[in-house]
Amino acid sequence: MRAAKFRQAAFVYLHVAVLYEAAAFAMYREGLIPSRFGPPAAWLIIGGLVGLAIFVALLRWHNPWLARVLWGFNVLRLPAMIRSAFFAETAAAPPAFYIMAIVVILINAWMLARAGWDL
């Protein structure tokens, strides 16, 4: 049962990582990613590698603390998404983009919570 929860959490996280990479790539092509922290293409590659590493870690280690920490990072993203979706006068993307991100973050957090706390 525990292995199934971690497998589900890992695959949901992988799909979220793929979605984020696709969104970041689309933003990169539109010139919306600043280059003040280095070349955006390098950050796209780093982001993909980090997402893949987390997928593998969840799939193989079944460490509840990893799932809990990832859950925390997901939840910390929500205030910025909510602000951009509902309260920002100007945002980099349409409100629907941020609303969908909220849904994806909550689904990902749900799966990580199942793996991290429902042992």
Per-residue pLDDT tens digits for 50-72: 999 999 999 999 999 999 999 99
- Compute the distance between CA of residue 57 and CA of residue 41 in angstroms, rounded to an integer: 24
Confidence of residue 119 (pLDDT cuts 50, 70, 90): low
- Compute the distance between CA of residue 15 and CA of residue 58 in angstroms, rounded to an integer: 13
Instruction: Quickly tell me which residue has 């706390």 as its tokens.
Output: 117
Q: Residue 97 above 80 pLDDT?
A: yes
- What does pTM read for this prediction? 0.90
In one-letter notation, the amino acid at residue 104 is: V
